[in-house]
Structure 1
């Protein structure tokens, strides 16, 4: 009974941590947006309110399994998370980070494409695409069904791929940073990165904006690998001065446009 109460406390604590992380990170980049692009989010309070509400639902869905796994790791030795820097070669540290990001990106790409099938788009993914254009608050704005498809990825990977606790923290930092910055409605990263060699392989706001504008392309999370391999990479989008995407009449949340074909 005592163990059960500790598991519940761990799940609640992790939910609180995920929620505070979301509010702090999205709040920071929303503040930065106001400083760098004054008025970009003007008149968007109702949308931002929806994004925050859905995101806070998602924090519980992400926090509960993470809290359970964290309890199991600390008390029962679950997972392949390690704390001794000498347990594995130092060269493995960046390899493990890349392995986690690539595995997460692969899962995200294919579940994201699946969510763009008309049925599942209407049921769940339409919630995320209600953000037109997305803001810094939209990173976790998911229907609970969609949140469930992503909440178990990292908690499952820690049972499969060894990773140092610090590198796991780095993975979570990158996940949070890219989730927020890809939805800000403007490009944070310098032009030389976005349009240079790195930009050909990495996803930033310019790439993901095109997904929110066209729906049927650019499904990746971190890397452009799967989009390029599967022919769904349609290049970089552009940001009008207002930051608002120009949508064709009747195109908002049109399941026909969001079909799995990726055309």
Structure 2
């Protein structure tokens, strides 16, 4: 193995481990919380949860490898537009970049998600995710490798083109993790006043995403309901 490849491979392996442990810790926490708030909700789902964990740990490698290589390239070669000095760009860009990343990620997710509901690609790949009936806190990364790959490339690609402070990038990744899990828990953890408010009309929570798992061809977004509203694929809220 060439010496110049070893650090990149080590970074990819380390990031895979980080993504896997992050999944186990965060999904484990929200599964524990589910047991406290909704006792027995997952009682009959142990075989399903086992499948979700296995698919998710495979997805951890698919997410971790490109992220690790890009992280190595950023530190060792100066790749990417990730910066560490807050004053390198106007301060207003800190919150703006957070929203830009979420919107671009949401846009990518919406259109690739709709594509994966075409019959052939659904049967090949996306059916793995929809095998979770109902979804649980362990299902957020339960993807076929093809679907995992479509999700794994978007943030590593964005950092090459859209400047972002490293702390804001961490916040983006935290948001992605928490919303991915809470949208699949099978119950609504956010207060009713928020979910049914004007703000809630534009945000995706479990009440919105649960309807996607019930009716399939609707409610495709990840963070926002913008594209669902615009494309008339929004079918409102379920009652998880």
**TM-score of the aligned structures, taking structure 2 as reference length:** 0.99
Q: Is 1:103 the equivalent of 2:109?
A: no
TM superposition shift of 1:3: 1.8
Question: What's 1:230 paired with?
Answer: 231
Question: What's 2:176 paired with?
Answer: 175
Question: What's 1:34 paired with?
Answer: 35
What are the residue-to-residue correspondences of 1:41-52 with 2, within 5 Å?
Answer: 41-52=42-53
Question: What's 2:212 paired with?
Answer: 211
Query: Over aligned residues, Cα RMSD in angstroms?
Result: 0.5
Question: What's 2:187 paired with?
Answer: 186
TM superposition shift of 1:184: 0.1
More helix by share: 2
TM superposition shift of 1:198: 1.3
Indicate the SS of the match to 1:2.
Answer: coil
Q: Distance in 2 between matches of 1:145 and 1:69?
A: 20
TM superposition shift of 1:175: 0.2
- Residue by residue, what CA displacement relative to the aligned partner does 1:4-25 show, whole Å, maximum 9, x if unpaired? 1111100000000000000000
Q: Distance in 2 between matches of 1:34 and 1:3?
A: 48
Q: Distance in 2 between matches of 1:121 and 1:183?
A: 19
Q: Is 1:126 the equivalent of 2:127?
A: yes
Q: Distance in 2 between matches of 1:209 and 1:94?
A: 29
TM superposition shift of 1:43: 1.1
Q: Distance in 2 between matches of 1:66 and 1:73?
A: 10
Runs of 4+ that moved beyond 3 A: none
Question: What's 1:73 paired with?
Answer: 74
Question: What's 1:93 paired with?
Answer: 94
TM superposition shift of 1:116: 0.2
TM superposition shift of 1:197: 1.4
Indicate the SS of the match to 1:161.
Answer: coil
Q: Which structure 2 residue ranges, 5 or more long, are not aligned? A: none
Indicate the SS of the match to 2:161.
Answer: coil
TM superposition shift of 1:57: 0.4
Indicate the SS of the match to 1:78.
Answer: coil
Q: Which structure 1 residue ranges, 5 or more long, are not aligned? A: 240-263
Q: Distance in 1 between matches of 2:95 and 2:192?
A: 26
TM superposition shift of 1:123: 0.2
Question: What's 1:61 paired with?
Answer: 62
TM superposition shift of 1:233: 0.2
Tell me the number of residue pairs that the alignment of Structure 1 and Structure 2 aligns: 239
Q: Distance in 1 between matches of 2:23 and 2:178?
A: 10
